[in-house]
Amino acid sequence: MSTKIYNAFRFKGELKDLMPFLKQVRDDIEDHTINYYKEYAGSDMPENWINLMKLFEKKNGSYSFEFNIESSVAVYFHGTGIYLHFFFPGHFGNYSDGGFFEKWDNWIEDFHYQNQTDKPDDVSEENWAHREQVFDDIFDRYDPPSRVGLIWNINNDLNKIARKVFNRD
């Protein structure tokens, strides 16, 4: 089985710190999402969401992937560790791209894993093997994240996002 776990992190805090951290993540993601749409449209900002979708289609030839605002995180527990596995729309990029995730470096550290490629140069053999073991234990079968972890919806309120994008809040 090929394992590709992108945007996965070890949480550096304690369990009591997890919800305050995730609430901050939620706020950061909402801000990022709103700013993304505002910056993309720029001075061409239309009156409503449907026309914003049409603007994206005109600029890109497609709009479907750009309008998935849903973001979530799976929280996995393994031994004494807490692991976070983020699911974002494509415009957030991956941790290895830098940028968006770096603001949380005090709380998380990269813990992504793939078994169909070589390990990154900045990860030791021991650490890579540890990541493999953690994810093999968590995903002991072919279960989706929702069956082996807790899922928290970070951002799925289109009405809230749209009101802020169009300054109607």
Q: What is the pLDDT of residue 74?
A: 95
| Residue 73 main-chain phi, psi, to 5 deg | -135, 135
Q: What is the pLDDT of residue 57?
A: 80
Q: What is the pLDDT of residue 115?
A: 84
Q: Is the pLDDT of residue 96 over 60?
A: no
Considering the entire predicted model, what is its pTM?
0.84
Q: Is the pLDDT of residue 63 over 70?
A: no
What pLDDT digit, counting tens, does each position of 31-52 carry? 888 888 888 778 888 888 888 8
**Residue 141 CA: distances (Å) to CA of 83, 96, 146:** 18, 27, 13
Q: What is the pLDDT of residue 92?
A: 64
Q: Is the pLDDT of residue 135 over 90?
A: yes
Average of per-residue pLDDT across 100-127: 88
- Coil, strand or helix: which one is 169? coil
Domain boundaries, the chain: 4-165
Q: pLDDT tier at 84 (50, 70, 90 boundaries)?
A: very high
Q: What is the pLDDT of residue 99?
A: 65
What pLDDT digit, counting tens, does each position of 120-132 carry? 899 999 999 999 9
Average pLDDT across the chain, whole number: 84
